[in-house]
Amino acid sequence: MSSEPPTTSVDGPGDTRRHVVVIGGGMVAQRFVEALRSRDTDGAWRVSVFAEEPRKPYDRVGLTRYFEVRDADELTLGDPALWDDPLVELHRDCKVSAIDREARTVTDRLGRVHAYDELVLATGSNAAVPPIPGNDLPGVFVYRTIDDVAALRGWVEAKREAGRVETRGGVVEKPVRGAVVGGGLLGLEAAGALKALGAQATVIEFGTHLMGVQIDLGGGQALKRLINDKGISVRAETATKEIRPHRRTGHVGRMDFADGGRLDVDVVVLATGVRPRDELARAAGLETGERGGAVVDLTCRTADPHVWAIGEVACIEGRCLGLVAPGNTMAEVVVDRLLGGEAVFPGADTATKLKLSGVDVASFGDAHGRTEKSVEIVWADPLAGVYKKLVMSDDARTLLGGVFVGDAAPYASLRPMLGAELPGDPAAFLLPEGGGAPALELPDEAQVCSCNNVSAGAVRGAVTEHGCTDVAGVKACTRAGTTCGACVPLVTKLVKTELTKAGVEVSNALCEHFELSRAELFDAVRGADLHTFSEIIARFGRVPDGTTDAGRGCDVCKPVVASVLASLGNGHILAGEQAALQDTNDHMLANMQKDGTYSVVPRMPGGEVTPEGLIVVGQVAKDFGLYTKITGGQRIDMFGARVEQLPQIWARLVDAGFESGHAYGKSLRTVKSCVGSTWCRYGVQDSVGMAVHLELRYRGLRSPHKLKLGVSGCARECAEARGKDVGVIATDKGWNVYVGGNGGQTPRHAQLLAEDLDDAALIRTIDRFLMYYIRTADRLQRTAPWLDDVSGGLDGVRAVVLDDSLGICADLDAAMAAHVEAYEDEWKAVLADPEKLARFGSFVNAPTTPDPALAYVPERGQKRPATPDEVAAGAFDPDLVPVVDAPVLVAGPTLEVRA
Amino acid sequence: MSTLAPTPPTSAPPVVAGPCWTAVCPLDALVPERGVAALVTGSDGEEVQVALFRLVDGTVHAVQQLDPYAGANVMSRGIVGTRRGTPTVAAPVYKQVFELSSGRCLEAAGKEPREGLSGDLASYPVVVADGVVHVGLG
């Protein structure tokens, strides 16, 4: 092979760049490429990545999320643009079959040979399949890749389908019985996944307790109780002797245990550990460790100076590390070395914090108290399902490790103190809510973000040396908090402290008129019980130096005040001084288009409309010459309505029973629905009925930005509810509610807030979620970014709306009840009020004269605005600006003309 | 209801030689800090669309109705406010901010005006006489 001339795919003639080849396309490979491209600013290196899987590197740690998101792309790591970089080449579905170290080439599975200057092994590991007879039966799975997870899902769904029997009393489903061999991290993830798929789950653990590597026996017992509460059974100290097939199907059917016990099963997941994929390294003659893995030194280099190994395949300090954080650190070390640096692997941080089926588990340092003479301080509350332990040096001053089960709150602040002296009584740190524990000042070297190996000093430096002034800036600068996000609260605290020390004021100012943020202004207005802009700016406005008043606001703060006043229930949005605060859309109760005309959207709750209603809409559009289009929110938009036509159009629509659709407002837009159980063969709940109910409840609700909801009648999710701010998906027990979804420029899938709610609980939950958002979000902040910013994130919101952690739920409920009570159709109210109607004239001195500049051309049987060129050429049709012979609703101001 | 013939404000003292004055509407027809559009014919017989704004202090400003950045006749529908104490209006389409007294563009919001249009607005003198708003076009 080495006699062949090495060929590469991107080498241009005269390309002097050096070439690094990465074998493996997992998380650590992604980190390597990302770090190389961000640090190699001269472009000295080009990098080729050979991935065996057919996808871009994805978040393997988040694999269980695949059951929720069902979209492999959601798990993609980092900025996808990384792979478009001309110096980066990703070969997917392209396993490397051989390494020739002498020729410095690799051969891929297609037989192509690629030369390298440096080679990085990042092949990761395989799920280790324990040598149990029957481990290859149909229905036995491992849990490692998206394909594994997809196969498991397909199997369980097929079993559920097969077990579904129609009886006279309805459909009865035979439970799918699942078992997971291995009670470690991966096993518990897999058990949670089985539950999420609707299967039963039993975890079979050989050792004395769950997560034996990370936590001690006491923690394991607490964890078992909590896991049991989630409906997952646990059999500890149990060895599986054999997995047996079902007599008839030949599929997996039964597990036999060494103690003589048995368990009938329909699916088995093997999660007993991983084995480094070092076969290429072995074949290339590189040294491997006792338990596998390519042996490397502290610079991650193998005995061959041009071959490196990072991540799970690297055997460093005599062992392979199955965690992503040390793998990322190794990637950074190799990048540094390639660029001429001196970095060495600082030792593995094996701290772990995770949420398993909603249970917090964390451990760090010497969790098992193996240090000589160490002492343990334990707080256990079996009733609350909480176990917390600190391992201290023999004088009980230096922190050596810790275990947290059920309440990991102290973890974030304590973990970085590993090896440092704790101030005061260490027991205070374990008491609920801190119990008066002294505030911790983290040492600079303390690690804050273990995923990206960022120290407290680096976070502080981002503020003091690099001039970052907010958390987003610090995250971008240091990458702290950008992987798992667990450290964001800590980063935020550090950044705020540092900014305050530096005398930098953290500005959330709305604009030059208000130093407050929208949320602060909301509270201020609510607290001070103010109802007009004049009062609000007089009270809370910023008075610039050398002037005596705060001015009269602007296009930023006025709509914010308008929205706040509307959310607090101040009557019609065009009443009194409020009229002058509204953006043009709200002021005209219609959506302005590019030519200055408006579009009109009547509300069609849940997307439901009668044939009679459709005829009215069609007739109105026809009579007024409007362009019609179906919106994404399941209703009809009519374009090209002139200001002076709006009242005439709405008189007809209101007469036919339509209401404002608030398409113009930062407010509830629509509640999209699928047809649900009333018609659909698969629907399990009446999604249209619920959507109509929700839309009628929240119609007219003003908010920091637009709000869209969706309701799906079954898990097929035809309403695309998870792309909405609030998505409701029917289950056979009730409703699951998801929040923070977003289409638009930054699409986001909504995340699960609560499961299996009945109608009343669903509505109460959404009421509170929406009101909490309205009160605390920033100006024009959709729910998705709000969830990133709001205190505690999704968990924090869950605590507020489900557990009333802030004690504000009664208030939120009352606010929503007041909204529902006070609702009136804005258009109906305008039509009944001559003073408001008077504003809908085209010209104050010619209220029914159309704007003479409007020009349209026909297109596909309708009209569209003429382009500037068409206008200049006179190529438009004047008949497309119709003046409708309709009762004049506009009582324009008249003026005696003097002779 | 119809466009008024150019008439100088008879009883108002500040009749300035030059502009052709048009009585447009009663002051009461203007909502403070909101605009209206008006059709006004200049001395050259050209019909011009004007945006009129009444401020809280009762003064009235007139600028061109054409939004030079959007190419649409919408300036009257912008939000009135102040920038460092100077009365302004923000274009409702792309949010450029203009000084009401001069029509000068204070913030272009990263946009260029449409081809052939000035980035500033034309401004017109306004006189309120006997409760009637008059606009003067050159």
pLDDT digits (tens, 9 = 90+) for A401-426: 999 998 887 887 788 788 888 877 88
Q: Which candidate from A552, A588, A595 shows the least CB-CB separation from B81?
A: A552
* Cβ contact, residue pair B85, A558, below 8 Å: no
Which residues in chain A touch residue B68, judged by CB atoms under 8 angstroms apart? Answer: none
Q: In the structure, what pLDDT confidence band is assigned to residue A80 with cuts at 50, 70 and 90?
A: confident
* Cβ contact, residue pair B7, A897, below 8 Å: yes
Contacts of A241 (CB under 8 A, 6+ apart): A132, A133, A256, A257, A258
* Cβ contact, residue pair B29, A893, below 8 Å: yes
Give A582 to chain B, closest Cα distance, Å: 7
Query: In which order are the strands placed within the sheet that holds B20-26?
Result: B20-26, B132-137, B126-129
Going from N- to C-terminal start, the domains of chain B cover: 31-137
Give B91 to chain A, closest Cα distance, Å: 9
- Taking the C-alpha atoms of residue A427 and residue A379, their distance in angstroms, rounded to an integer, is 8
Per-residue tokens: A76: 């993609």
Distances (CA, A) of A429 to A217, A381, A450: 21, 15, 21
Output the pLDDT for position A155.
93
pLDDT tens profile A827-876? 999 999 988 998 899 999 999 999 999 999 999 999 999 999 999 898 88
Per-residue tokens: A859: 């297109």
* Cβ contact, residue pair A894, B1, below 8 Å: yes
Confirm if A323 and A352 have CB atoms less than 8 A apart.
yes
Which residues in chain B touch residue A544, judged by CB atoms under 8 angstroms apart? Answer: 84-85
pLDDT tens profile A505-531? 666 778 889 988 888 889 888 888 889
Give B96 to chain A, closest Cα distance, Å: 10
User: Where does A206-251 show beta strands of DSSP type E?
Assistant: 232-235, 240-245
Measured between CA atoms, the residue of chain B closest to residue A894 is B1
Instruction: Check whether B87 has a pLDDT greater than 80.
Output: yes
- How confident is the model over A341-345, as a mean pLDDT? 87
Give A574 to chain B, closest Cα distance, Å: 11
Per-residue tokens: B115: 């081809």
Which residues in chain A touch residue B50, judged by CB atoms under 8 angstroms apart? Answer: none
* Cβ contact, residue pair A847, B93, below 8 Å: no
Choice between A619 and A290, residue whose per-residue pLDDT is larger: A619
Measured between CA atoms, the residue of chain B closest to residue A840 is B36
Output the pLDDT for position A879.
85
* Residues in B 100-129 with any Cβ partner in A closer than 8 A: 114-115
Residue-range domains of chain A with CATH? 18-126+276-338 (3.50.50.60), 140-272 (3.50.50.60), 583-660+825-845+852-899 (no CATH), 668-822 (3.30.413.10)
Instruction: Check whether A260 has a pLDDT greater than 60.
Output: yes
Output the pLDDT for position A452.
75
Distances (CA, A) of A11 to A19, A24, A537: 9, 21, 64
Percent above pLDDT 70 for chain A: 92
Q: Give me the sign of the Cα torsion angle A8, A11, A15, A20.
A: negative
Per-residue tokens: A545: 């130096």
Confirm if A231 and A203 have CB atoms less than 8 A apart.
no
Output the pLDDT for position A484.
59
Instruction: Check whether A780 has a pLDDT greater than 90.
Output: no
pLDDT tens profile A720-733? 999 999 999 999 99
Radius of gyration (C-alpha) of chain B in whole angstroms: 14
Confirm if A739 and A782 have CB atoms less than 8 A apart.
no
- How confident is the model over A748-763, as a mean pLDDT? 94
B31-137 fold: Rieske Iron-sulfur Protein (2.102.10)
With an 8 Å Cβ cutoff, is B81 touching chain A? yes
Per-residue tokens: A386: 């909480």
User: Helices A471-478 & A488-501, crossing angle to 10 degrees?
Assistant: 110
Task: Please determine, for the modelled complex, whether the ipTM score is greater than 0.90.
Answer: no
Q: Which candidate from B37, B72, B78 shows the least CB-CB separation from A844?
A: B37
* Residues in B 11-30 with any Cβ partner in A closer than 8 A: 23-26, 28-30
Considering only A163-177, A324-338, A475-489, which range has the smallest mean pLDDT?
A475-489
Contacts of A44 (CB under 8 A, 6+ apart): A17, A18, A339
pLDDT tens profile A221-240? 889 988 888 889 999 999 99
Q: In the structure, what pLDDT confidence band is assigned to residue B1 with cuts at 50, 70 and 90?
A: very low
* Cβ contact, residue pair A845, B97, below 8 Å: no
Give B113 to chain A, closest Cα distance, Å: 13
* Residues in B 47-66 with any Cβ partner in A closer than 8 A: 47, 49, 52, 55-56, 66
Which residue type is seen at A19?
H
- Taking the C-alpha atoms of residue A295 and residue B86, their distance in angstroms, rounded to an integer, is 72
- How confident is the model over A624-640, as a mean pLDDT? 95
Q: In the structure, what pLDDT confidence band is assigned to residue A465 with cuts at 50, 70 and 90?
A: confident
- Taking the C-alpha atoms of residue A324 and residue A818, their distance in angstroms, rounded to an integer, is 50
User: Helices A793-803 & A759-776, crossing angle to 10 degrees?
Assistant: 120
> A803: how many CB neighbours lie within 10 A of its CB?
9
